[in-house]
Structure 1
Amino acid sequence: AAIEAAYREGESKHKGNGKSVPALSVLKTPLRDGDLERPDDPAYAGNYFVNANATSAPGIVDADRNPILTRSEVYSGVYGRASISFYAFNSSGNKGIACGLYI
């Protein structure tokens, strides 16, 4: 639903100089199928994941909201919560929906 909302909000970006807005199904999105994208990694088997980015490293806290200072405690496959937002992009003809990670 969040990806669809970002698509609707970003229709003008996706249209660019063209006559129409491309269908969401043909745009790049941050939602990934672990079985297709990472078939050799059992941590992704049977799961979807979201590819999110930030320009600087986000703060990391534990369940009690105490800062985690040892970055090695957080790695691919570890469950957690993140504050993210979806937005449309159109950069040099590369169009899609991206996911930003709040800091």
Structure 2
Amino acid sequence: MVPLANAWRSGAGSWTAERRKEFANDLTRPRLLAVSAATNRAKGDQGPEDWQPPAKGYRCTYATAWTNVKSTYQLTVTEAEKRKLTEMLETCS
């Protein structure tokens, strides 16, 4: 969910090589999803402040996973990112 470039800008740039490897290969937290090529190109390395899943019903799941990864790896969150995540999390039942 959190692209490597976004993680780098959010604090991973100061990690050891071992920590970056752990992040990139973490199978415990949802980091990668199979999506169409068009969706993948549209998302790129953007955060939720600039891109949200086209399926509105999936935004709660996406925001929850994004928040989990950022929290687990103690990555920073911008104010715009936080606002959008809050909005997306408010769609959770």
TM-score by shorter chain over 0.5: no
Q: Which has the larger share of helix?
A: 2
- TM-score, normalised to structure 2, is 0.27
